[in-house]
Amino acid sequence: MYRLTKPKKDLKGVIRLTASKSESNRALIIQALSQTPIQLNNLAEAKDTQTLINILQQDKINFKEGVQYDVGPAGTTMRFLTAYFATKPGTRILTGSERMKQRPIKPLVDVLNQLGAEITYLEKEGFPPLKIKGKILTRNEAEIDGSMSSQFTTALLLISPQLFNGLVLRFKGEVTSPAYIKMTLKMMEHFNVNGIWEGDTITVSNQQYKTDDGQAYTIEADWSAASYWYSMAAMASDVDLRIMGLNNNSLQGDSIIKDLYTLFGVKTEFVEGGIHLTKSKPVVQAFGFDFSDCPDIAQTVAVTAAGLRIPILLNGLHTLKIKETDRISALIAELNKFGIDAHETFPNTIEIKEYRSPSIQPQFFVHTYDDHRMAMCFAPLAMVYDNIIIEHPEVVDKSYPGFWEDLRKLKFVVEKMDLSAKYK
């Protein structure tokens, strides 16, 4: 456990932000599929990305028929590799953590099997672990439920130019998180693969990934990781913070955070190499937003509003239930520990109407549910409450391994505690 305190409630300094896990993982699959060398710079140090790197390297160097790969809790890695291995000759077993075995993968498997893949479930129907017998996929038309995770669509798009006849993918229902799909198409375009998205259909012909003149691709810093610093800035007394590695023309949908936080009194200026955050006057007394296009920042915004004691109504949260934990239930449970009456008033919606007087406690214990975002989204409350206790702080390794050290750089006190201290 870590105890967090911030004796002085300002936020001043420079942070060199971790690279984007989402962008890194897409680039790694593109690199693996390319027939010509692709150099990638500034890959994420996130555990999920390192897992993907290791499995791709092992498979390239030392593949054995029937080999088993364990992705742990890495959902993106599981989905991307399921599609990738479906196109590679040989049989592989793909498994993961106990939580991963509870996260659905049937929509992706169904489409791959429609295209001619041979994927079977080894335990519970519709969930990992999977037995994947790779082959050349010659069918090119499929249909997918657009309301499910955009990672299913991205996994299919990444392999689409390598399919014998390309891919014509039609969506059923409303498409969730289209920004992530657009990000995938933009990255593919950078590597000379063009797709067309018209109406409910994306079409990609048989093409080859390649770079122009061997130019390296540099991964941008992670805007979802930046959201935690925006949250701290919103609750700080004074802000003079530079966050390096972020671009004004970002491919990441989570870059909308810079616009949302103007409402909470955080001003963003793009400077050479990154952004400069300062305080401005908050302009909202209540806040509502649909996070269908950027679900990874929903928890952070909810905690920010709670710290500022602003009534909120957040919807478009349906994908949060199938993440590392049920993030809606987890968020509500932990906010209630701070005397905040958060409710799921409608399906996939979080609402806070009123705030009770803050309870005076010597310390607040935040359970992280094996979820990196639960740990990081609650850490900014150290700007408001003394002695925030984060259980299992190591979960941040999944996406932002240097998070606690970066807090120390900005004068947060991060102290390791004995687990038994909770029960004294």
Q: What angle do CA 72, 76, 81 make, to 5 degrees?
A: 80
Task: Give the number of other CB atoms < 10 A from CB of residue 333.
Answer: 15
Residue 320 — φ and ψ, nearest 5°? -65, -20
Query: Which secondary-structure segment (H or E) carries 180?
Result: helix 178-190
Is 238 catalytic? The answer is no
Q: Are 265 and 296 in contact (CB under 8 A)?
A: no
| Catalytic hit among 110, 222, 296, 406 | 296
What is the dihedral sign for C-alpha 353, 382, 294, 99?
A: negative
Percentages of the chain per state (helix, strand, coil), in multiples of 5: 40, 25, 40
Nearest Cα neighbor of 9 from 276, 291, 381 is: 381
Nearest Cα neighbor of 68 from 100, 91, 101 is: 91
- Residue indicated by tokens 């059923």: 172
Does the bond joining 129 to the residue before it have cis omega, within 30 degrees of 0? yes
Neighbour order of strands in the sheet with 10-16: 10-16, 238-244, 274-279, 266-271
The token pair at 397 is: 């390794």
User: Between the CA atoms of 243, 244, 246 and 247, what dihedral angle is there, to the nearest 10 degrees?
Assistant: 120
The DSSP output letter for 19 is B
For residue 50, CA distances in Å to 3, 43, 131, 226 come to 28, 9, 23, 20
Q: Are 299 and 380 in contact (CB under 8 A)?
A: no
Question: Among all residues, which ones are annotated catalytic?
Answer: 296
